[in-house]
Amino acid sequence: MRLTKLDGLRGIFSLMVVIHHYERAFPGNETLYLPPLMHDNFLITQSKCFVDFFFVLSGLVIAMNYDTRLNTMAQLKSFSKKRFVRLYPLLFYTCIVYFAFELVRNIFLPQFTSTPTSVQKLLIMTADTLLFTNSTRLVGTSLGMNGPSWSISSEMIAYLTFGVISVLFAGRQKKFALSLVIFLAFLFCLYNRRYFYNSTYGFVRALICFNLGYFVFRLSLLKFRVPDFIEYLIPLILIPLFFKLESYFPTYREDMLGLFTIPLFFSLSILALTKTNGSLSRFLETGPVQFLGRISYSVYLNHAILIVLIPRIALKGFHMQPDNWKNIALLLLVIATTLVYSAITYELIEKRGGKWLSGVMERFFPTRPEISGEILSPVSPRH
């Protein structure tokens, strides 16, 4: 099974998340920073749903690698170590950079913030992120340091849940246990009439989508054909779905429609793409899109600080007066800077930092040779 096209799609969706957060980085002043045609566009405002795509894709990739190779405590230890090594270098780096930025902004540049935060609270938010707890209520209810990192916490919890279930159960029992997790998480959202959790119970949202990704993998092993034209149905369904979600915002109906449609939609879309090779697939496998897919984790965790810093420097630091053309140029500058910066952190932090951390972990927690292999290194979106 080739997943390169899905890597490319993840890259495109990561850019959509950047624009989604860019719109919301300046409460009360969005029209100053976002081109009018994009301001309040339902495709942008509902791009928060792409985090669910990331979760489903992660579940598929993890199942592809570990469905039959995660049966013992030793294998669970190896699995957990690899997932930690994959996620933590960039998570740590972006968290510390954002903490330093917030520290400087709150102490020395109060004009760059409308809601000052105490150093104590900044430290708690940093700990919340670095402990993978900022998608829970264990430390607090904030997004943690570097807001998008809540989904990385959610993903780690989904990893460990999958790993423990895989060790405890096998065959039909494993499928039943994973189905039960999905069902209980679904009931939790239904009872609370909320699906789009992040900093409080974001891990519940991840458990639904990630474990659906496992069943997408199981279904992808079956011998059946999907016509290539089905690829065109994905955007044709996504557009009215996002439009309907936006029409319900900000009521609980948006969450309930999201609960019943978004995980299933992305699961079926990913399943279809594993069985097709149409024009959309070929586009997603082109060089630029594949490059975007490779650096998507860095894009996801790097952008939060850039969408705050660059526009404020341009408009406040240089006293620029915004207009439509400047808004467009500013957005393009933010995207370009994010891509260049993310390409650098991909090489230096994700790859080299991951290699260094892997060596450190191997020294203290050596992996047995018979369980060290991996079919495909999953790249977190995240989230």
CA distance linking residue 52 with residue 34, whole number of Å: 25
What is the domain partition of the chain in residue ranges? 4-371
pLDDT at 150 over 50: yes
pLDDT in tens, 165-197: 999 999 999 999 999 999 999 999 999 999 999
Q: What is the pLDDT of residue 376?
A: 44
Q: What is the pLDDT of residue 194?
A: 96
CA distance linking residue 69 with residue 61, whole number of Å: 13
pLDDT at 155 over 90: yes
CA angle 351–357–358, rounded 5-degree value: 85
Q: What is the pLDDT of residue 379?
A: 41
Element (H, E) at 327: helix 324-345
Average pLDDT value for residue range 36-41: 74
pLDDT at 365 over 70: yes
pLDDT at 383 over 70: no
pLDDT in tens, 97-134: 999 998 888 877 766 666 778 889 999 999 999 999 99
Q: What is the pLDDT of residue 363?
A: 85
Tell me the residue type at 247.
S
Average pLDDT value for residue range 139-150: 91
DSSP string, 145-171: SSGGGHHHHHHHHHHHHHHHHHHH--H
The token pair at 98 is: 């954002």
pLDDT at 18 over 70: yes
Q: What is the pLDDT of residue 362?
A: 86
CA distance linking residue 366 with residue 43, whole number of Å: 46
pTM listed for this prediction: 0.92
Q: What is the pLDDT of residue 1?
A: 55
What's the pLDDT band for 232 if we cut at 50, 70, 90? very high
Average pLDDT value for residue range 17-46: 73
Q: What is the pLDDT of residue 380?
A: 46
Q: What percent of the chain has pLDDT over 70?
A: 88
What's the pLDDT band for 318 if we cut at 50, 70, 90? low
Average pLDDT value for residue range 305-330: 76
Q: What is each CA distance from 9 to 107, 252, 290, in whole angstroms? A: 40, 29, 9
pLDDT at 378 over 80: no
pLDDT at 316 over 90: no
Average pLDDT value for residue range 313-332: 74
Average pLDDT value for residue range 358-371: 76
Q: Average pLDDT, whole number, for the chain?
A: 89
Higher per-residue pLDDT: 225 or 376: 225
pLDDT in tens, 237-276: 999 999 999 999 989 999 999 999 999 999 999 999 999 9
CA-closest candidate to residue 141, choices 190, 197, 207: 197
| Cβ count near 303 (within 10 Å) | 28
Q: How far is CA 347 from the centre of its chain?
A: 19
DSSP string, 18-64: HHHHHHTSSTT-HHHHS-TTTTT-HHHHTGGGHHHHHHHHHHHHHHH
pLDDT at 229 over 60: yes
The token pair at 4 is: 């390169």
Tell me the residue type at 220.
S
CA-closest candidate to residue 62, choices 78, 83, 89: 83
Average pLDDT value for residue range 296-315: 89
Higher per-residue pLDDT: 353 or 318: 353
Q: What is each CA distance from 303 to 16, 232, 308, in whole angstroms? A: 11, 30, 9
Tell me the residue type at 254.
E
Q: What is the pLDDT of residue 30?
A: 46
pLDDT at 381 over 50: no
Q: What is the pLDDT of residue 320?
A: 64
Can you tell me which residue has the tokens 């719109």?
23
What's the pLDDT band for 31 if we cut at 50, 70, 90? very low
